[in-house]
Structure 1
């Protein structure tokens, strides 16, 4: 939609948004490129040096905190705008009537551009089922939405480069697609709770009837998205970075390499088991990932830990229990866990 098609009353708000972005974007970039200078200035003001464990931990905290929050704010704003093109009704409409195979691929791709955490994806999971989408296709979306999310991708790109981000994207999508195909082939619809089966059988395809939005509404949705998401997750970000700073400054490299290193074959399954009871998001877990890697942990092992935290969290399983019987939950967790284990071992072999 172009500005010429907007209603007259929308022109002035659009101008205000353009002016805001023309100020915010350069300010965001200037802050991002001077993160090291900021952290150096903080430890200098505190009379610390990076040659000590405390100084290194403090530098890590004051470098990563603004970096993560800047990345998070920028990504969440953009994805808030993108989400206006992929409302839940449209997501259901796009997947309705899709068969296994192509439907699993589309569902996994939609999971990337619909920014839901593992718990908030569950209601949409039920809504997609009610639109007549096959169970396996729906699971591909449920797995992809939290695990291959935009925050994780952008932060991996910023911290580790495009090769790591691309491999994470490819393997994460592979887990979502293959796991959905496996669950679909097992024909486990009978393990949906009865009320979910009734909803799924009572409705078919259904179309997308959402209201079309102009660019002012889309930009306002981006701003609302920042207030809602960043406002909720920043404590997790600070906690994750504080833990990462402690690991970075005080944990000996030899110790971390011995329990999460490339040579310890059992480290990947242990990392997955450790990640399941935890619940946080990519913004909170990636600073821990960065600190673990800096201390000698293997990339595949650490990413397997991260994937289990954001795709197999205990709170997600509790919420899923409202819609799925234990047999289906166990199958879902087992299939995804196997996929994550393979991702961990592949990363350790390739990189």
Structure 2
């Protein structure tokens, strides 16, 4: 009873903290410290505080919750369902889960790590990681209102296909072998030793045992990656505040073939969520950037950012990171070329 009450109280406090990050960071930077609302420094600092606290809260909560669930769920049954003959279904479900979760590229990493440590197949987990930052329900509504249903549907199809095909590619390369050793060790270790007897006898572990396992899992992973969250978000915040939007339209608006792969490469160091990128899409289109180049640029900006790459380095070896970034570059380039060719007839 004590642990139930304590966990409920912690959940309430976490929810209050999470919902007040944005107004508190805004108040701290612009009211307490007195930065001008549109100043690059103020915008960067607000972005840094908001995203750092948000991602650290998500990291702690999601790893804890998934580790808690691992003490009860039958991982083998989940893996059996998502593997083998049902792999295509698994990729689709991973991409669909990514589409309905409102995470940016960095915020989706804790859940991705939870999937991996729960031994969900790497292809399914990567389908989620690719799709999650590209699509969410808020962005769909905003996209529909600003750019119409045809563009919105095309964006949704492109995002889902990127995730599904990405899962197939990752499994084809057996990408799981390129995870960091500590992640592989957690995948192979199975349940915590203190839980094996309960699971083997089909008995439920106590709340205390579940808490101990989940807390230890969360604390271990959190200690390993928190500093990289701070560094990654710091770089993203600097780019967010000091790189002007009109630079891209001015330099990549010629419509030549090379502007699409160039726009993808230029967008990778940036850091934005899909809701924030929608107004930029509209701005780039009105300034004359071709529709395919705009789509490739914006999808790359939300799906593969420099902060995300830094954080994923703690989970992935360099080979897997290179495959991940290379796949996104090729996929988004093909999407851009396709829409530059057919865009005038569709929109």
TM over 0.5: yes
Count of residues in correspondence between the two structures: 227
Match among 128, 144, 161 for residue 131 of structure 2: 144
| CA distance, structure 2, for counterparts of residue 335 and residue 256 of structure 1 | 25
Q: What 5-or-longer segments of structure 2 have no aligned partner? A: 1-64, 192-198, 200-204, 206-236
| 1:159 CA drift (Å) | 0.6
Q: 1:133 to 1:348 in 2, by over 3 A?
A: same
Match among 301, 305, 330 for residue 309 of structure 1: 301
| 1:90 CA drift (Å) | 7.9
Does the 8 Å contact 1:95/1:106 carry over to 2? no
Q: 1:131 to 1:314 in 2, by over 3 A?
A: same
Q: What 5-or-longer segments of structure 1 have no aligned partner? A: 1-86, 210-235
Q: Aligned residue for 2:291?
A: 299
Q: Would you say 1:179 and 2:166 are equivalent positions?
A: yes
| CA distance, structure 1, for counterparts of residue 78 and residue 290 of structure 2 | 37
Match among 180, 186, 189 for residue 199 of structure 1: 186
Q: Aligned residue for 1:102?
A: 89
| 1:289 CA drift (Å) | 1.7
| CA distance, structure 1, for counterparts of residue 341 and residue 89 of structure 2 | 30
How do 1:333-348 and structure 2 match up within 5 A?
333-348=325-340
Does the 8 Å contact 2:135/2:274 carry over to 1? no
TM-score (norm 2): 0.59
Aligned-pair RMSD on alpha carbons? 3.2
Q: Aligned residue for 2:261?
A: 269
How big is each residue's C-alpha offset from its partner over 1:19-73, in whole Å with a ceiling of 9 and x where there is no partner? xxxxxxxxxxxxxxxxxxxxxxxxxxxxxxxxxxxxxxxxxxxxxxxxxxxxxxx
Most deviating of 142-151 and 313-322: 142-151
How big is each residue's C-alpha offset from its partner over 1:314-344, in whole Å with a ceiling of 9 and x where there is no partner? 1101111111100001001111211111111
Match among 311, 319, 330 for residue 319 of structure 1: 311
| 1:272 CA drift (Å) | 0.5
TM-score (norm 1): 0.58
Match among 106, 116, 119 for residue 129 of structure 1: 116
